[in-house]
Every structure is written in structure tokens, then in C-alpha cells.
Structure 1
Amino acid sequence: MKRYILSILLFIPLALSAQDGRFEKANNHYINGEFEEAISSYNEILQTGMESGNLYYNLGNAYYKNGELANAILNYERALLLKPHDKDIQYNLELAYSQTADKIEDVGEIFITKWITSFRNKATSDFWAYVGIGCFILTLIGAAFFIYSRSVVLKKIGFYFGIIFLIHVIVTLSFAYKQRDKLINRDHAIVFSPTVTVKSSPDESGTEIFILHEGTKIKILSTLGSWKEIEMGNGNIGWIKEEAITII
């Protein structure tokens, strides 16, 4: 029942939106098929400084229904940054990408790296930070048993208990850092020009390497003036004018 582009989270409220009629107004526009009005209303909420995975998701759906694929992808990606574990966002994003012109195969990751990334994305940075703090407290409890207990058995239990949860502290806090870093240092973007030529150097006279189309996701490696050095999922690298892309 969830696997539809229409399955927006209309009845899952944003923080404080229960008292904010603007979100309800935007949802009503969407329900009535008034997608341009819904887009305008959702963007008005964003302009107030309020953001949420649900808000970006709903906005992405409104753009999708209005035929604006690049904007839909952009907002799905922003929603996924805030809710990396959300299956509905992931499904709609994959659906939108399937309709883009560029079919780029990502460079394969080794299984363990892919599994760790998938596991880390099951929760937000705040969640992993809270888990890390909890594990740190348990580590201190284990250390207390090891230091103050007179029983050899309890000392051993405290030692191994503390080591296990210290490892959990390191892992969960590294997960929290990675998730937070994705939100702060946004180095991915979406192509917004119908077609754009990627150059071998940051210059109009540079050799044309390949062409990208609207809706394609790229990674930004560096900036030189109005040019961005980019990398594709398949490992191809080149330069592109910054006005052709929008940062996720």
C-alpha cells in the first residue's frame, strides 16, 4: 500500500505544524491536484527556516506530479538526508531516477562497506549520538566493576563488559559523525540544465568529455571560479559550470 508516488505523508505532522495552517493548506492543494499551489505553499514553509524530511518528501511529490523531475529528485534527496532510513522516500527517489536520461552504473562497493553504509543509514545522527552516550555510560559501569570489585569474576565481567561497550561507543559516534557530516558538508548536486557538456578542464575551450542531462546526480570534488570539478557514480571526472547544477 505504501509503494505509490501518491503516498505522501499528508497526515504525519511536522514539528509545530499542528498549529500551522500553512502545511494543511499545502496538503489540501496537493489533494485537490493543485500542484503548483502546493509547491508554492511548501516552499513558503521552507522559507521560514522550518525543514523536515516529511516536508521535503511532500514537496518532491508535488514537483513529480507537476512534471518537474529534477526538482522532485532534489527534494527527495534532501528528504533522504534527514530521514535516511525511510523506505517510501527511497522508493520514490529510485522511481524518479529511473525516468532520467542518464543511466549511470555506480562503481561497485565491496560487500562489507555497502553493508556498513546501509546499517548506518537506518538512523539519524542524533540517534547514533544518543546510543553512543548510552554505551559510554555502560563502559564506565564496566570500568567501575573492574576497578572497585573485590571479586575476580566480577573484575573479568567488568573488563570485558567495558571493552565491548567501548567498541560500541567508537562505532556509534563514528556513525553519528558520518551522518552529521552529510548534512553539513553537502558535496552532491543535481543537474538542472536540460543538457550540459562536461569539460576536461575549467574552461570553455576545454575538451568535451561527455554530456549530462537534467536530473543526474553528481559529486562535487572542487571549485575553481564558476566551475565545479565533478565525479560521476561510475568514476568519470570532469568540469561543469556551477549554474547548471543545484546543491542537494
Structure 2
Amino acid sequence: MKQFIYILSFLFSFGLFSQNQDLFEKANTFYNDNKYAEAIDNYQAILESGFHSADLYFNLANANYKLNNIAPSIYYYEKALQLSPNDADIRNNLAFAQNMTIDAIDVIPDAGLSKLIKTTTNKLSFDSWATLSVSLVFCFVILFLLYYFSYSTIRKRLTFVGSLTALTFVFITLAFAFHRYNLDKKDNPAIIFVQESKVKSTPNLKSEEAFRLHEGTKVQVVESYNDWQKIKLTDGKTGWVNSEDIKMLNDFK
């Protein structure tokens, strides 16, 4: 019975993949024919099936950009960048889309040691830092064994120094790995998805208006309360917006 279920599951997955491939090619044809709304409908149909890829988000963003849909184009470029962070085409197109936004928000730069640590941490992903740490542990073990079983004084000295160096870098890379993990955990970006959002000082419709944001602006969500989200801007300003005004970038639905 289990084998039969596995076969059905495989056939269903294969059928879904084939259907999505047809939709993707159909959407691309619409896009090339300048029928951007129809292309968007087909790309969205693929997303609704549960399939996600950088190419899909990129093409969906491009179609929205052609229709001057500011928030969706920025949103989907950002989604594509999450899956392919080193893609130059995605970054370039995202920059073009961001030029259509109204809000000009300053960025508070990091300085000194804080900037150095953050820059170094972001060089690698958490998985890459963790993999590097494991590799260094392996090097430490090998060098320590060579030191332990070596009879030559020079070889003992070299392997001892090498093992201590490897161990030191194990702790350093582990520190960067945990720092990257904490940064990723705190990173909760969203895009303003309404033409204009009134940012409140407290999570209440009757509270004082702190400032306003417009579609396409990227914010960080730092807290949630009922139907409200507390956001923070790159210039340090904070406030509360209605949950319906934003779309979370970390949600893959």
C-alpha cells in the first residue's frame, strides 16, 4: 500500500512540475508579447501551486515593473534576491524599481569595529560559517594527531602551532556563525503595499500619526500586536502600521 502511495505522490509531483513548466513558458510568451498582465496571472498561478524560484520571482517582478506596479515589483525582486543574493541582474533591476518610490530614507551607517564585524559576518551565510567551523575542527584533529604521534621535534612544534591556530579559528568562525544566525533571526523585512500608509505612534487608530510611508518602501518589522506591526526604518524611526498595509518578505506562501 505504501509503495502505491509513493507512486501516486511521484506521479502527482511530476504532473505538477510539468504543468508549472507549461505555465512558465506560457507566461514568458505573454511577457515577450508585451502582455504583462496575462504574464503575471500565469506566474502567480505557479506561485499558488507552492513552487518558488529566483527566476520565477524575477520574471514576476519584471512584469510588474513594466506595468509600473511599484510595490509588487520591489517585493518580488527582493524575494528573488533572497533566493539568489549574488545575482547582479536582480540587484540592478531592484535598484531601478526603487527609483520609483517616493520616500527618501537615510541610512544610519555603522562605524568602527561594529562596521568591520558586520561586514565580515555578512561575507558568508550561517551555513557557510558553520561548514567552515566544522572543516577547521577536522583540521585541528588531524594536526593534533600528527603532533601526538610525531617523533620529530620540528614536526611536533609545527603541528602543535598549527593545531592551536586551527582551534583559534574554530572559535572565531563559530562566533561569526552565531552572529550571522542572530542577524538573520532579527531580519524581518516587509514592503509597504498600499499607496500611502499612516504610521501611528501606538497600535491604535486613534493614536497620533508619527509619519507616512508610501508603496514600495522597505521596512523592518520588530514587533506585532493584534492587527498592528511595529516597524523600524533605516534612519532609526519607529512606528505602528496596520498589518494589511505591508507584505512580509520572509513569508513563502
Normalising TM by the smaller chain, what interval?
0.7 to 0.9
Matched, 1:49 2:18: no
CA contact (8 A) 1:141 1:158 kept: no
1:178-206 deviation digits (Å, cap 9, x = unpaired): 66777777611000111111111111111
**Aligned pairs for 1:66-81 within 5 A:** 66-81=67-82
For residue 13 of structure 1, what is the aligned residue in structure 2? none
Read off the aligned partner of 2:140 and give its amino acid letter: T
Give the structure 2 partner of residue 135 of structure 1. Answer: 136
Contact 1:200 1:239 in 2 (8 A): yes
Q: Could you tell me the TM-score, scaled by structure 2's length?
A: 0.78
The corresponding residue for 1:110 is 111
Specify the code of the residue in structure 2 equivalent to 1:219: Q
Following the alignment from structure 2 to structure 1, what is the Cα–Cα distance between the partners of residues 213 and 52?
30
Distance 1:134 1:33, change over 3 A: farther
Structure 1 residue identity aligned to 2:202 = S
- The structure whose Rg is larger is 2
Q: 1:239 aligns to what?
A: 240
SS at match of 2:158: helix
Matching residue of 1:217: 218
8 Å Cα contact 1:85/1:122 also seen in 2: no
After superposition, residues 108-187 of structure 1 pair within 5 angstroms as: 108-110=109-111, 113-114=114-115, 117-118=118-119, 121=122, 124-170=125-171, 172=173, 187=188
Deviates most, 163-172 or 132-141: 163-172
Q: Residue 11 of structure 1 aligns with which residue?
A: none
Partner residue in 2 for 1:6: none
Q: Give the alignment's Cα RMSD to 1 decimal.
A: 2.8
The structure carrying a bigger helix percent of its residues is 2
- Is residue 38 of structure 1 aligned with residue 46 of structure 2? no
Tell me what 1:206 maps to.
207
Instruction: Please name the residue that 1:26 is paired with.
Output: 27
Rounded to whole Å, the distance in 1 between the matches of 2:199 and 2:217 is 13
Measured after TM superposition, the shift of residue 26 of structure 1 is 2.4
Tell me the matched-pair count: 232
Deviation at 1:221, TM superposition (A): 1.0
Q: What per-residue deviation string (whole Å, max 9, x for no partner) do you get for residues 1-27 of structure 1?
A: xxxxxxxxxxxxxxx78x933333322
Question: How high is the sequence identity, in percent, across the aligned residues?
Answer: 34
Deviates more, 1:169-178 or 1:93-102: 169-178
Aligned counterpart, 1:90: 91
Cα pair distance change 1:140/1:239, threshold 3 Å: same
Deviation at 1:41, TM superposition (A): 2.0
For the residue of structure 2 that corresponds to 1:20, the secondary structure is helix
Q: Secondary structure at the match of 2:85?
A: coil
Question: Which sits farther off after the overlay, 225-234 or 126-135?
Answer: 126-135
Q: Secondary structure at the match of 1:205?
A: coil
Superposed displacement of residue 211, structure 1: 0.7
- Does the CA contact (< 8 Å) of 1:81 and 1:182 recur in 2? no
Cα 1:137–1:107, aligned 2, differ >3 Å: closer, same or farther? same
2:187·2:220 contact (CA, 8 Å) conserved in 1? no
- In 1, Cα distance between equivalents of 2:29 and 2:115: 40
Any idea what the Cα deviations from partners look like across 1:53-112, whole Å, max 9, x if unmatched?
A: 222222211211122110111111112222222222222212211210001011111265
Distance change in 2, residues 1:136/1:40 (3 Å): farther
Change (3 A) 1:106 1:199: same
Runs of 5+ unmatched residues, structure 2:
1-16
CA distance in 2, matches of 1:81, 1:183: 12
Rounded Cα–Cα distance in structure 2 between residues aligned with 1:44 and 1:180: 33
Deviates more, 1:84-93 or 1:232-241: 84-93
Gaps of 5+ in 1: 1-15
